[in-house]
Amino acid sequence: MRITQSFFYHPVLSTMSKYPILIAFGGISPEHEVSVLTALQAKAALESTNLPLLPLYISKTGQWFTGQRLFDLESYKDLRTLEQNATPCTFAVDKDGRTVLREESSGLFHRPKSHPIDTVLIAFHGSSGENGAFQGVCEQFNLPYTGSDVASSAIGMDKIRAKQLCRQAGIPVVDDVTVNETTWVQNTSDTLEAIQKLGYPVIVKPARLGSSIGVHRCTSDEEMKTAIEDTFRYDEWILVEKAIHPLTEINCSVMGTPDNPRASVCEQPLGSDAHLTFQDKYQSGRGKGMAAADRIIPANIPDVLSDAIQASAKTIFQTLGASGIARLDFLLQTDTNTFYFNEINTIPGSFSFYLWKESGITFDQLLLESIRIAKLQHQKRTGRVRSYETNLLSEKAASGIKGLKGAKGLKGRKGLKGAGGLNTPTGGSS
């Protein structure tokens, strides 16, 4: 049971601005409540840093709210009352060109408050908060944000695409069959035949969801059909995988950037079933999220196996282009000590602070490092050429709207030549 390699922590308090860290959480997701727990844990950890903190809570219906009462766990006992008392808000750009969180006015003579933002600490889990959609909003408003970028977040959320990339990179993954809802309805028999070739038992799971929601272990055709119908409630794409037996789940967190990833110790989660359920992960301790789940840290596996899993975790982190803090989950076949990549969580529950604690990294240090990485990645993105000066519209305005006619169909190739040289046989994108 080996403790991970030394970790060099860079203090970032001196580099922080006077503007608040915006903690974004909630969202339209089956993991809404888990996100709330992670956000409140992060807020409690950052209180010792004396950094200004501001909540951005997105309701289950997609409405945005702010206000310090959103940092109180007791407020979430009644979500309807919470939303009635919270302050609606939105991102906006002020007269100085800064992105702010603007409170929406509630009266004719009430001037809405605007809060400039230092960095967005993203604490969403699942769906539109973790799949790159909210990350894209942050990029549109030129805001630094923690975690992986748009593309890596989208790939990380899509288990099918993530496994495809890992398989191409030579990383061991479990045999599977992908099932689309339309194909299932139109050709159930062929899909069943493909799944039967895997051999029972199998695991049925949504392709783009986490936290074991909608996951079933099936030992027969009938169980599998029922499980697929239930799982289609969550996603139109399903992953059916050959179940590993005897199975031990091993997780490892990775932090950093694709060119400088660092691995935590490995953990061995303890579940009440052959695979970890939502209840195992989040309902074994009140208000503690993933930190309350039963686990062995460091995992009770040989050092050589722990080292191999840590190395694989870093390779996958790099392959998927992840950044910030992620957790990589592996399936270990204990009779052969063969392990397989299961999934990546680009925003892990409780930010996996309990894994870094074993390396002497406190929760607040972990979050500050995540914020530092967010600023670094933001500088890399915004340091490139992002616009191109051209008088194209002036030229078109001079020739009138008729001058745009050539942009349609094959007859428009000559017109496109003058618009930046997009004269290839297949056309070009704007």
Kindly state the average pLDDT of the residues 390-415.
Answer: 61
Q: Which of 328, 349, 3, 2 is nearest to 172 (CA)?
A: 328
The token pair at 135 is 């990350």
Over the stretch 168-205, which tens digit does the pLDDT of each residue have? 999 999 999 999 999 999 999 999 999 999 999 999 99
Instruction: Extract the runs of DSSP E, i.e. beta strands, from 75-213.
Output: 87-93, 99-103, 114-116, 119-122, 176-180, 202-206
Chain-centre distance for alpha carbon 294: 23
Q: Which of 345, 330, 327, 24 is nearest to 155 (CA)?
A: 345
Could you give all domains of the chain from N- to C-terminal order, each with its CATH number? 13-147 (3.40.50.20), 156-173+245-382 (3.30.470.20), 178-242 (3.30.1490.20)
Residue whose token pair is 């495809």 = 164
Instruction: Extract the runs of DSSP E, i.e. beta strands, from 270-323.
Output: 295-296
Please state at what angle helix 133-140 crosses helix 150-157, rounded to 10 degrees: 170
Q: What pLDDT score does 427 carry?
A: 40
User: Is 130:325 a contact under the CB 8 Å cutoff?
Assistant: no
pLDDT, greater one: 427 or 38: 38
- Rounded to whole angstroms, how far apart are CA atoms 67 and 81? 14
The pTM of this model reads 0.86
- Answer whether residue 409 shows pLDDT above 70: no
Q: What pLDDT score does 384 carry?
A: 81
**In 95-109, which positions are buried (b, 16+ CB within 10 angstroms) versus exposed (e)?**
eeeebbbbbeeeeee
Q: How much of the chain, in percent, has pLDDT values that exceed 90? A: 74
Q: How much of the chain, in percent, has pLDDT values that exceed 70? A: 82
Q: Which of 137, 179, 146 is nearest to 46 (CA)?
A: 146
- Rounded to whole angstroms, how far apart are CA atoms 89 and 408? 41
- Rounded to whole angstroms, how far apart are CA atoms 284 and 213? 16
Over the stretch 275-324, which tens digit does the pLDDT of each residue have? 555 455 445 455 555 555 689 999 999 999 999 999 999 999 999 999 99
